[in-house]
Amino acid sequence: MWKSKEVYYISDSTGILVSNIGRAILCQFPEISFQEERIPYVTTVDQAGKVLKKILKQSAGRRPLIFSTIIDPRVREVLRSSSEIEYFDPLESLLEGLENSLEAKALRVPGFSHHISDVLMNRRVEAIHFCLDHDDGQKPDQYNDAEVIILGVSRSGKTPVSVYLATQMGIKSANFPLTSEYLDRYRLPSGIIANIKRTVGLTITPELLHSIREKRYPASSYAKLATCREEIQQAKQIYLKYKIPVIKSSGKSIEEIATQISQHLELTKI
Q: What is the pLDDT of residue 118?
A: 64
Q: Is residue 269 part of a domain?
A: no
Q: Is residue 170 part of a domain?
A: yes
Q: What is the pLDDT of residue 17?
A: 84
Q: What is the pLDDT of residue 91?
A: 81
For 122, 171, 172, the CA distances from 116, given in Å and listed in that order, are 10, 16, 18
Question: For residue 33, what are the domain limits?
Answer: 4-113
Its pTM stands at: 0.66
Assess whether 59 and 45 both reside in one domain.
yes
Beta-strand pair 246-248/199-203? parallel
What is the dihedral angle through the alpha carbons of 87, 91, 96, 100, rounded to the nearest 10 degrees? 150
CATH at residue 40: 3.40.50
Assess whether 90 and 126 both reside in one domain.
no
Type of residue found at 88: F
Q: Is residue 270 part of a domain?
A: no
Assess whether 22 and 145 both reside in one domain.
no
Q: What is the pLDDT of residue 61?
A: 85
Assess whether 163 and 60 both reside in one domain.
no
Query: pLDDT digit of tens for each residue in the chain (270 aa)?
Result: 889 999 999 998 888 889 988 998 999 999 999 999 999 999 999 999 999 999 999 988 899 999 998 988 899 999 999 999 999 998 877 887 887 888 888 777 666 555 555 667 788 889 999 999 999 999 999 999 999 999 999 999 999 999 999 988 899 999 999 999 999 999 999 999 999 999 999 999 999 999 999 999 999 999 999 999 999 999 999 999 999 999 999 989 999 999 999 998 988 665
Per-residue burial over 207-228, b if 16 or more Cβ lie within 10 Å, else e, is: ebbbebbbeeeeeeeebeeebb
Q: Who's near 246: CB < 8 A, 6+ residues apart?
A: 200, 201, 202, 203, 236, 239
Handedness of CA 59, 65, 69, 72 (dihedral sign): positive
Q: What is the pLDDT of residue 122?
A: 81
Q: What is the pLDDT of residue 160?
A: 94
Residue 152 burial by Cβ neighbours in a 10 Å radius (0-12, 13-18, 19+): buried
Rounded distance, CA 89 to CA 181, Å?
54
Assess whether 150 and 238 both reside in one domain.
yes
Q: How many domains does the chain have?
A: 2
Assess whether 94 and 125 both reside in one domain.
no
